[in-house]
Amino acid sequence: MTAPVLGKVEWQPTADVPGLLAAPVRAALGEIPAYAAAIDPGLADTAAFCAEYDVPMAASANCVIVLGKRAGEATYAAVLVLATDRADVNGVIRKHLGVRKISFAAQDDAVASTSMEYGGITPIGLPPDWPVLVDEAVAQAGPVVIGSGIRGSKLLLDGAELAKLPTATVLDLAQH
């Protein structure tokens, strides 16, 4: 595979750099064609990463973990939107999950539940019963940068691959 050029990072096939992936991400990546690049962990947050490494915000996707509740039942889900957009958590996402209340999962809960580092949580390698809600713009974006499960690296893959994850649903999730 010829490594893509995006920003000022050195993308390498994930099979060649397993240490750049959190264990659950490494285990779940399988045959998904993806690349990884080492970054400064202090620059893992999207805005800082994009500014430092010259990656357009429109080529980056944020993954947030939400927690919905209804009648004492809790539902975790991953939500992916482009870094240029905001997820409609209280509208589309809450309704799709069929929950009465919804919020962003607490940092400690998100880290413990995913076995990934905060700031690096990604939809690949999440618990198998978690819905993964992918915004249409992410699925159509072409090459997109996402977390790798750790703060010290990023993944690059086609957004359409995220739509193929076993529990993925593509929706119009961005606030308009």
pLDDT above 70 (res 73): yes
Query: For residue 176, what pLDDT is reported?
Result: 60
Q: Which of 71, 79, 59, 64 is nearest to 168 (CA)?
A: 79
Q: According to the model, what pLDDT value does residue 47 have?
A: 93
pTM of the shown model: 0.94
Query: Residue 7 falls within a domain, yes or no?
Result: no
Residue 6 resides in a domain = no
* Domain presence at residue 63: yes
At residue 87, what is the residue type? A
Domain count, the chain: 1
Q: For residue 51, what is the domain's CATH number?
A: 3.90.960.10
The residue range of the domain holding 53 is: 12-171
What one-letter code names the amino acid at 15? Answer: A
Query: What gap in Å lies between CA 156 and CA 7, rounded to an integer?
Result: 11
Would 45 be classed as within a structural domain?
yes
Helix, strand or coil, per DSSP, at residue 118:
coil
